[in-house]
């Protein structure tokens, strides 16, 4: 029997709405404070541009902002903690002073996570699910912040794809719980494009309901990914329709959060999908 998903406490998302899982799909807007993002939208250290994008995403209906200062694209160069902090902290401080929606920090370093929370972030998004730096679990427990655990691995080898991903995520969840992270603060992500082939990514999309058996809110990040480019034969700047298809199917498969670059377009995709899947209606709807 699947674990009942508990509400995330103390978070208010778009339009001052309290977060309630299952009511609708939540949209996380990506802000890359890097010079080498795979999607071509890295803003590096341009603080005015970073703040402008954050405010635009908020106005377009984003529920969260996910800010990262180290590229996770294939073959990217790892940056030092000091360099990541130099890029990240001014950006988070500037964003936090201007927006009302929660800020997530995309990092796998506990020192960076701690400084980011002190600067204004309220969610930690660990793309290595405590594998690289387990102390991220300690930081999340200490500050009581939600923790996103994303599946990732160095190789493309699996014994059985979905059971392997579920088992690996379950191990990381248990590690987080042992550190003292509250169960209601854990979110899982199967890691589309991380340690997977394009065929693996498509299989994950087909089998999303199996991941819900973990009993935690599910985040999907398919936006502009190379699998979309492979299927459609399109460059990264022409993948909005492919992303829309994956977002729609993510929602049908049980995703609770979608992490996207094109916020305005994907908020519209989510709301139409939510009207069907979750029986969601806008505030001005008359039945």
Alpha-carbon gap, residue 278 to 189, rounded angstroms = 20
> Exposed (0-12), middle (13-18) or buried (19+): which is 106, by Cβ within 10 Å?
buried
> Which candidate, 101, 149, 142, 100, places its Cα nearest to that of 124?
149
Catalytic residue among 87, 109, 224, 225: 225
| Whether 9 is catalytic | no
Structure tokens at 182: 């509250």
| Whether 225 is catalytic | yes
| Main-chain phi, psi angles of 212, to 5 degrees | -65, -20
Catalytic residue among 23, 259, 264, 286: 259
Q: How much is the CA Rg of the chain, to the nearest whole Å?
A: 17
Are 214 and 173 in contact by the 8 Å Cβ rule? The answer is yes
> Which candidate, 27, 90, 76, places its Cα nearest to that of 194?
76
Under the phi-then-psi rule, with left for phi > 0, alpha for psi from -120 to 50, and beta for the rest, what region is 55?
alpha
| Main-chain phi, psi angles of 14, to 5 degrees | -55, 140
Alpha-carbon gap, residue 114 to 167, rounded angstroms = 28
Residues that are catalytic = 225, 259
């Amino acid at each position: 029997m699947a674990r009942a998903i508990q509400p995330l406490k103390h978070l208010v998302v778009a339009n001052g709405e309290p977060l309630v899982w299952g009511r609708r799909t939540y949209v996380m807007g990506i802000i890359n404070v890097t010079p080498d993002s795979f999607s071509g939208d890295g803003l590096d250290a341009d603080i005015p541009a970073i703040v402008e994008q954050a405010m635009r995403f908020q106005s377009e209906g984003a529920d969260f902002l996910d800010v990262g200062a180290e590229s996770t694209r294939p073959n990217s160069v790892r940056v030092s903690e000091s360099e990541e902090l130099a890029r990240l902290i001014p950006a988070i401080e500037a964003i936090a002073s201007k927006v009302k929606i929660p800020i997530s920090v995309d990092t796998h370093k506990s020192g960076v996570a701690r400084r980011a929370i002190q600067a204004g972030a309220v969610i930690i998004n660990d793309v290595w699910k405590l594998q690289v730096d387990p102390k991220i679990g300690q930081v999340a427990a200490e500050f009581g912040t939600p923790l996103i655990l994303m599946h990732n691995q160095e190789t493309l080898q699996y014994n059985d794809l979905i059971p392997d991903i579920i088992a690996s995520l379950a191990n990381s969840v248990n590690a987080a719980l042992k550190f003292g992270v509250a169960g209601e603060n854990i979110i899982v992500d199967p890691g589309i494009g991380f340690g997977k082939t394009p065929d693996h990514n498509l299989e994950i999309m087909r089998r999303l309901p199996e991941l819900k058996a973990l009993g935690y809110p599910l985040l999907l990040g398919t936006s502009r990914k190379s699998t979309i480019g492979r299927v459609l034969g399109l460059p990264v700047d022409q993948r909005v329709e492919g992303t829309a298809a994956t977002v729609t199917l993510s929602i049908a498969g049980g995703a609770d959060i979608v992490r996207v670059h094109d916020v305005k377009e994907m908020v519209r995709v989510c709301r139409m999908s939510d009207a069907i899947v979750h029986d969601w209606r806008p505030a001005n709807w008359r039945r």
